[in-house]
Amino acid sequence: MKIVILGVGGRLGGALLREYREKHDVAGFNHAQLDLASLGDVRRTLDAMNFDVLINAAAFTNVDACETERDRAFLINAEAPGVLAQICNAKDAKLIHFSTDYVFDGEKRAPYTEEDQANPISFYGESKFVGERNVLTAENGHLVVRVSWVFGPDRPSFIDAMIKRAQQDENVDAVSDKFSTPTYTHDLAQILPQFFDRAVEGGILHFANTGKCSWQEYAQWALDCCREAGISLKATTVGAVKLSDMTNWIARRPVYSVLSTAKYRELTGTAPRAWREAVADYITRSYAPTNEKSRKS
Ligand SMILES: NC(=O)c1ccc[n+]([C@@H]2O[C@H](COP(=O)([O-])OP(=O)(O)OC[C@H]3O[C@@H](n4cnc5c(N)ncnc54)[C@H](OP(=O)(O)O)[C@@H]3O)[C@@H](O)[C@H]2O)c1
């Protein structure tokens, strides 16, 4: 199977490239190699290639910057995915495109299913939602995979920032009244190939590790795992701050955006592992003293 992955310089794209390059014929592009904002270049480059699956892990992911750079956010997150879908249609290839829990407004208090109405409250969420629609209206069996709170070794995320702060500072805090679920790039890379040549009804699939937590709980568990793994920290307890205290944030964020994985479980007969297990595994692989040298920073 010939696969092209966009966004291989990112957290998710990097993990997918590492996972698939041994088993498949894979070409990867990072931002410098292919800019999704240059739609002509995107068309010329991809039209000239042969592939069965195109995976788009590239996106303008800075949620606050999307508020102030709306045209750019729309071009990369909304328009470009539509162009990718058209390119795939012309080759009868499948597009797998990633989206976000931020397409929801966060008013619900039970996990969001694929059938729930999106109602973005930020421009990032809005641009990603239009991107989804542009992919799905192209039909051809394309797949939109919504994920939340992505973490993994290829680019630091919230969890790495918390561990770093706890190594440097005695006081660490995190938001305690915003809830979702972490998604480990390693786990997503493992499960995705079963959808390379399988149509999913409705074209949307939610995937995250199982469970629900606040950022404070997420950070506390990360520090607990570090302690367990013998990693020295100055802070061992994560204090609570409120979402309303984050006055430097520009974009609004959903308070509750847990993604239901019931559809994934129904389709595959398996459940994603619990987020605590996934975080513990990540810390053992990436932070445990014997692995420190191999960790990318
Ligand atoms: N991170 C999360 O918590 C999260 C949550 C929900 C959904 N998602 C979705 O998951 C997917 C993967 O995100 P991620 O966590 O891997 O984010 P990431 O680490 O920020 O990766 C995104 C990649 O896209 C690249 N990119 C940005 N603008 C581009 C452009 N114009 N042309 C080509 N490449 C461009 C970035 O390159 P530069 O850095 O060089 O600009 C980066 O390598 C995205 O669709 C995102 O919306 C992420």
Both ends of the chain: CA-CA distance in Å? 32
How far is ligand 1, taken at its centre, from the CA of residue 205, in Å?
Answer: 18
Q: Given CA atoms 262, 264, 268, 272 in this order, what sign does their dihedral have?
A: negative
Pocket test for ligand 1, best of 61, 76, 209 (most atoms within 8 A of CB): 61
Q: Examine the pLDDT at 295 and tell me if it is beyond 80.
A: no
Q: How far is CA 234 from the centre of its chain?
A: 30
Tell me the per-residue pLDDT of 12-46, one tens digit each, with 9 for 90 and over: 999 999 999 999 999 999 999 999 999 999 999 99
- The pair of three-digit structure tokens given for residue 145, joined into one six-digit string: 């995979």
C-alpha–C-alpha distance, residues 28 and 7, integer Å: 8
Closest CA to 120 of 99, 98, 105: 105
Task: Give mean pLDDT, residues 199-227.
Answer: 97
How far is ligand 1, taken at its centre, from the CA of residue 145, in Å?
Answer: 14
How far is ligand 1, taken at its centre, from the CA of residue 126, in Å?
Answer: 16
Distinct helix (H) and strand (E) counts, the chain: 11, 12
- The pair of three-digit structure tokens given for residue 125, joined into one six-digit string: 């969420």
Residue 287 class from Cβ within 10 Å (0-12 exposed, 13-18 middle, 19+ buried)? buried
Tell me the per-residue pLDDT of 123-166, one tens digit each, with 9 for 90 and over: 999 999 999 999 999 988 999 999 999 999 999 999 999 999 99
- The pair of three-digit structure tokens given for residue 273, joined into one six-digit string: 């592992």
- Residue 215 Cβ inside 6 Å of ligand 1? The answer reads no
Tell me the per-residue pLDDT of 240-289, one tens digit each, with 9 for 90 and over: 999 999 889 999 999 999 999 999 999 999 999 999 999 999 999 999 77
Q: Which of 102, 124, 256, 282 is catalytic?
A: 124
**Percent of the chain surpassing pLDDT 90:** 94
Let me know if 112 is a catalytic residue. no
How far is ligand 1, taken at its centre, from the CA of residue 293, in Å?
Answer: 26
**Helix (H), strand (E) at residue 251:** none
**Helix (H), strand (E) at residue 172:** strand 172-175
Single-letter amino acid code for the residue at 17: L
The average confidence (pLDDT) of the chain is: 95
Positions of E strands within 8-123: 25-29, 53-56, 94-100
- Residue 150 Cβ inside 6 Å of ligand 1? The answer reads yes
The backbone torsions φ and ψ at residue 175, rounded to the nearest 5 degrees and listed phi first, read -65, 130
- Residue 10 Cβ inside 6 Å of ligand 1? The answer reads yes
- The pair of three-digit structure tokens given for residue 32, joined into one six-digit string: 């410098």
